[in-house]
Chain A
Amino acid sequence: MSLGYVKEYDVVVVGAGNAGLMAAVNLQKQGKRTLLVEQHNLPGGCASSFVRGRFEFDPSLHELSGIGSAESPGNVRMMFKDLGLDIGWKKVDDCFRAISTFSDGTPMDITVPSGREEFVRYMESQVPGCTERIERLFELFDEISEGLDFFSNKDKYDVKFAIKHFPNMLVVGSHNTKTVFKALRIPQKCIDILATYWSYLGVDLEHLSFLHYAVMLRSYLQEGAYIPTFTSHELSVALEDKFRELGGEIWFNCKAQSFLFEKDRVCGVRTAYGDVKCDFAVANINEDIVYGKMIPKEHVPLRMKLLSSARKQRFGARMFTVHIGLDATAEELGIKDYSIFMMGTADSAKEYKEMMKGFAQNPFSIFLCYNIANPSISPEGTSMCSFTTFCSPEDWDKLSSEDYHEFKTKCAEKLIKQLKDKTGIDLSGHIEEIIVATPWTFARYLGTPEGAVYGHETADWDDIISRTMQMNKDYPIKGLRPVGAGGPRGDGYSSAYMCGELGARMVMKDLQELKEAK
């Protein structure tokens, strides 16, 4: 060991978020001596839980895509299964209820079922005569899903093969979601319904790649949505313990300050315990933090400066969430739906603009009742709910500590009142525990820029398809690979897990080449 290093590993993974955990487990499994360094005292980042009184709350997870049934598993279910991890997956029955306004101005209050056939039948009931178009849309989704799977397992684009097998994907692949819906002549009322899930990606339909939307929507509608039985901490703790079991080491509550260089290659990580030597470092950290703070200026590649500049620090969604433990059951409170999307309009671009004007104008929120999908999540006679909405950074930038609590309380009050006004569900008089999390809270625990949880916006030229196609260009520093919500797969639990696994694969390849070169 070189002088001055406290320890030496093959790989150091900085950040035990979903992508970091998945990368670390996979690297350790493939025989790389791996150290996982995490600034918080818990694994998982957003995928966590916290206990208040007799309730255990999930800070972020609404539902996971990519799980599917045991008989027909999705890729994320397989990822956990391949690691020998047995997760208690619970299915969310309906997709969602949406209370909004159709584009033609008529009020919308719909409850959309999951399952492909059920969904098509439901759309036919809403918009008679649309079945054929919706079925065609699903066929296109299938082609895209297969096509993207094919591409993500290849290093190079075999254009001829793609033209033969995935021609429609190539045709729609460069367009935003709204354009493709229009081109496919999907009736507007159907688009309004299909649009509801846009918020899970944090980008409106006019700026969202159709391919990105297609894979997500297909997964939710066809494979269904799932949650783990004991909050998302169940997922994180499973990965944490698996990593240890495989021989990996974890340093919690230990911040990594910077990456160390030997010539032009990362050779170590400076941590709160001292310098650690490694052949490769994986950073489950927002790229602007990595390149803006953790790397000596002379080592920041021009490409990353330009990329950051082009992105204009437009980070993905900043969340505002309210977690409530109630001393009444869902039934007693009149709650029937797992998730209710409450929006001002079905026009996502308009809605997004309204949201970003600030909390007072923001018409959007998602209300969730966990007990609907998972009755035993809270003690008998109780229920657990949450509100989620996005917020603009301006509301939270200039706020003082002194005014902070009053402002966040007012915001939470607004959401509780809005639920009552729109659905008749009255939570007041039953609130036993209530915790409000703001961008400050996310910034505190995650350290992400502005407390954003979705990395950089996956919009327009920087959508996941373009990112994936440029993967080799976006990681210019030898021995360093950022993974996570800002990565090629974009935001969300499933994407982060996939990004972590992909990252591990790339690191293995790089280390193999390094070995051969030596």
Chain B
Amino acid sequence: MDKKIKIGKISMLDMLKFKNLPSRRDKVISKAEPKDIKADFPINNNAKVLHPVIQKMVIENIIDHEKAGAKTFELKTQDGSPAAWFRAGQYVSIKMNIGESYVTRPYSVSSSPKLTNQGRLAITVKTTPGGFTSDHLIRNAKVGDQINISGAEGNFYYERLRDQRNVVAIAGGSGITPFLSMASAIRDGIEDFNLTILFGSRTEDSILFKAQLDAICKATDKVKVVHVLSDEQKDGYEHGFISADLIRKYAPEDFSLFVCGPEGLYRFMDGEVEKLGLPKRLVRKEILGVSRNVTAGEDFPKEALGKTFQVKVIQGPCEYDITAVSEENLLVAFERAGITAPSRCRSGECGWCRSKLLSGSVYVPQQNDGRRHMDKETNHIHPCASFPLSDIIVEVPRGDTAE
């Protein structure tokens, strides 16, 4: 190597300087004032306040929407402190023990973010056929019961960097909840966009939150609600299903389409959205939960139907031997056995339950496969959207518990 690199003002004395770098560092360090090291930072605390792992709540009030087969649970923080802030449209995951089982379920928040300052938020639960947790809540939950929930999660909210200023919301039944929250947020000056809700209900008296929605529409001209009845003919309402034509009738010029409702609504809407010719970026869907009919899917291996498999669950230093049936996702099997596994969206999307499949195989419905590319390649699974096809061994992260 050429050793004749000429270096201007820096001189050979610098060699000594180099050799003395450690003592220079020592000098600075020794001159510092010895004190206890602070490990508490505002930014970190802010992040914790916005994203708590667990919020300890108590049921403050229950509203029975009898005709709709639903109940709204108004929750309050147990210690009266503010609840975590959320974007209108986000959900919380409730966590509770029912008998031997530990269950979690995602529910969109239906109240205005404004109420978090009072420590309050509300969720609405509808009875669903075979719905273990929803049935339990509707039948047994009472005022004063304590209930743990996650912080706010999910990406179903108005994002002005992406969405049109006009949003058309398609809601079916209890799918109104995120839009009720958005409408309240608009009324409260927290969100600023125009919201036209096309709200499908069976009959007039089964419409959820009708009075509240009416009041919001009166308070702000940014929110409009069109009620669509499927099982009843009545003046002053639209009828049938929410079709492309109906959307065109009420939609402003440029709009983003938000959809939330039961499974059937999505299947129908997919065809209608196509007719509207909207690009993907203008259509957002909130899906909480994997289809109940997953085993009816064409690509589900029929030979696995009705089978029960042995599952070894490795969780930190613990091991559990449990059984699982092919018709139910693995997260349900864990929870049935009382194992607290991480869980948020329960639709394969958020990845919070990401686990390692060490042996065996599972079925993942394509529409619920929200895994990272490399996770698919390396047998990492989201148990909430994985159905056992054989005996399996799976390594699961620790569940969410209050610190």
Contacts and interface: CB of A to CB of B under 8 A. Distances in A.
A451 B159 contact: no
A75 interface: no
Interface stretch (B102-110, B232-240, B296-304, B366-374): B366-374
Contacts of B5: 136, 139-140, 143, 168
Nearest to B376: A230
Contacts of A447: 44
B254 to A, nearest CB: 10
Interface stretch (B93-101, B245-253, B305-313, B349-357): B349-357
Size bin of chain A's contact surface? 35 or more
Given A171-B12, A470-B22, A470-B26, A451 B351 contact: no
Interface in A294-313: 297, 300, 302-310, 313
B344 to A, nearest CB: 10
Contact of B397 (A6, A253, A306): A253
Interface in B1-40: 1-3, 5-12, 14-15, 17-22, 24-26, 28-40
B267 interface: no
B2 A180 contact: no
Interface string A229-256: 0110110011001001000001111110
Interface string A242-285: 00100000111111000000000000000111100000000000
A239 to B, nearest CB: 11
B140 interface: no
Interface string A164-191: 0001101111110001101111000000
A511 interface: no
B15 A41 contact: no
B355 to A, nearest CB: 9
Contacts of A309: 32-35, 37
B139 interface: no
Contact of A175 (B14, B159, B280, B400): B14
A171 B372 contact: no
Interface string B115-150: 000000000000000000000000000000000000
Contact of A413 (B9, B161, B353, B354): B161
Interface string A142-157: 1100000000000001
B43 interface: yes
Contacts, number: 252
Interface stretch (A47-55, A194-202, A347-355, A493-501): A47-55
A82 interface: no
Contacts of A444: 47-48, 50-51
Nearest to B18: A173
A402 interface: yes
A336 to B, nearest CB: 23
Contact of B29 (A171, A182, A234, A303): A303
Contacts of B113: 402
A506 interface: no
A168 B397 CA distance: 52
Nearest to A41: B397
Interface-centre pick from A171, A251, A439 (highest chain B CB count, 10 A) = A171
A466 B22 contact: yes
B264 interface: no
A352 B38 CA distance: 25
Contacts of B44: 443, 447, 449-451
A405 interface: yes
Contacts of A174: 14, 17-18, 20-21, 24
Contacts of A31: none
Contact of A292 (B36, B87, B349, B351): B36
A7 B43 contact: no
Nearest to A255: B403
A307 B28 CA distance: 9
Interface of B: 1-3, 5-12, 14-15, 17-22, 24-26, 28-44, 46-51, 84-85, 87, 113, 155, 159-162, 279-281, 316-318, 342, 349, 351-354, 356, 370-375, 378, 380, 395, 397-401, 403
Q: Which 8 A-B pairs have the closest CB atoms?
A: A292-B39, A292-B37, A401-B85, A432-B281, A253-B397, A252-B397, A310-B32, A293-B39
Given A171-B12, A184-B8, A273-B316, 20 more contacts: A168-B7, A171-B10, A174-B14, A183-B8, A233-B373, A234-B374, A237-B374, A237-B380, A251-B398, A252-B397, A253-B342, A253-B400, A274-B317, A292-B38, A305-B35, A309-B37, A430-B281, A431-B161, A440-B46, A449-B41
